[in-house]
Amino acid sequence: MPNPRKHPVEQPTFRSLMLTSLFLGVVLLMLNEPPSNGIVSAVALVLLAVFVVSFGLYWLAWLLREHELWREGRQGEGE
């Protein structure tokens, strides 16, 4: 039987994208401390936006997964 696909919460690629974008965004903002280059600031803000969106999706996926596990557990109690 083939291995089932992992839930997005369980995939390390999604977490690494989230943490990498946070780290690079913060590093770019720190390196550009007196805002001298608009391109570096824009890239940093885009990376931080990627982090915020991916964190929101990660949290939602985790919440939905936990809810489904709870529902499966409740179905087992009713039988």
One-letter amino acid for residue 4 of the chain = P
Count CB-CB contacts under 10 A for residue 25. 20
Q: What is the structure's pLDDT at 22?
A: 93
pLDDT tens-digit profile of 30-46?
A: 888 777 778 888 899 99
Count CB-CB contacts under 10 A for residue 21. 20
Q: What is the structure's pLDDT at 41?
A: 86
Record the pTM.
0.75
Q: Where are the domains of the chain?
A: 10-78
One-letter amino acid for residue 30 of the chain = M
DSSP state of 10: G
Quick one: tokens of 32? 């550009």
